[in-house]
Copies of this chain bind each other. A is one copy, B any other.
Amino acid sequence: MALQLDDGTPVATPSLVVDEAVLDRNLADVARTAAAAGLALRPHVKTHKSLEIARRQRAVGATGITVATLGEAEVFAGAGFDDVFVAYPLWLDGVRARRLVALAERARMRVGVGSLDGARQLLAGVGARPGLSALIEVDSGHHRSGVAPEHAGEVAAALADGGVAVAGVFTFPGHSYAPDGGPAAAADESAALSAAAQALAAAGVDAPVRSGGSTPSLASSDPGTLTEVRPGVYALGDAQQWELGATAPERIALTVLATVVARYPDRLVTDAGSKVLGADRPAWATGFGRLLDHPEARIVALSEHHSTVVGVDAPAGSTLRVVPNHVCNAVNLVDALVVVRAGGGVTTWPVDARGRNQ
């Protein structure tokens, strides 16, 4: 199957290809589920870095967006997204502080604060601003960033004493990324956010938002505690979600179109390597990605421009659809996504915020 753009240009390999129909179904389904549970949906756009996809998320009901960096915030706020949460413990000195001030003049900005140090730096570097509020990050078991729930009150109080608006608390239950980890991580998430909200109340800080959510834990999110969820990967899907059971293969909207460049008796070699798939490989993964149309196959080795595939045969020169392990890192490796439209035809969408790490 030779994939061609509408103008007749053949799609070269390796390319990241999005199935619009699957994407739109994913966006609509999660929006519907969140609405039914009474949860605000604030998708993490670091997954796709695409204005087009974010607009579709907004169209089906997202109340705002989540980003990881000021650079991503600038791209999306610059395109009219007016409610942006930087769910990251930013260190707000110098240029970063000035960039946040400028952002808060054009969009309603929320920023993460993950420590007392971070709160003091926000106060020193930025201070109280109209349009700016803080969410206190709590550690719900992933042990990356955030304070213990019982310490959330003192961080919030430090900000509030300095006049900075505190909107609530948030966590990323990243320990959901383990086999059968979703429900337990969601329970931890609920407990941590609940305890943190109580700590804020005890410190005299009245703040309504309790924000959580990761794609593997999403189905188990506790609407009795959470007020909002911030999933990202659900839009496109990836092999991690497939292997965790969080996404069925027919819900995977993004694959890497790859050419079989060589066929040996025991293996195939394709041109989709780590420079287009990313090199993520959690310990529990069965390989460096999967083949969407050959679930029995395994990618047993990965170089920058080679993936070594066993368990399937295909002629040299044929194409395969490879599912990256971690779609967020794969998208960040290309300037544009090839999009197979639901109504027919093939177009491209830019990866507007590619490389905006700062």
Contacts and interface: CB of A to CB of B under 8 A. Distances in A.
A333 B355 contact: yes
Interface string A253-273: 000000111111001010100
Could you say how many copies of this chain the assembly holds? 2
A249 interface: no
B305 A69 contact: yes
A99 to B, nearest CB: 9
B303 A144 contact: yes
Interface stretch (A77-85, A87-95, A181-189, A196-204): A87-95
B317 A262 contact: no
Nearest to A336: B355
Given A88-B305, A174-B303, A317-B91, A329 B261 contact: no
Interface string A1-40: 0100000001011110000000000000000000000000
Interface stretch (A51-59, A113-121, A216-224, A289-297): A113-121
A171 to B, nearest CB: 14
Contacts of A117: 262-263, 316-317
Contacts of A15: 358
A306 interface: yes
Nearest to A116: B316
A278 B279 contact: yes
9 contacts: A12-B95, A46-B304, A89-B262, A115-B264, A117-B262, A117-B316, A143-B267, A271-B357, A278-B279
Given A15-B358, A118-B316, 12 more contacts: A10-B95, A88-B305, A93-B317, A114-B261, A114-B262, A117-B316, A118-B262, A145-B262, A275-B329, A278-B279, A279-B329, A334-B355
What are the 6 tightest A-B residue pairs by CB atom distance, in nearest-first order?
A117-B316, A12-B358, A279-B279, A279-B280, A91-B261, A115-B262
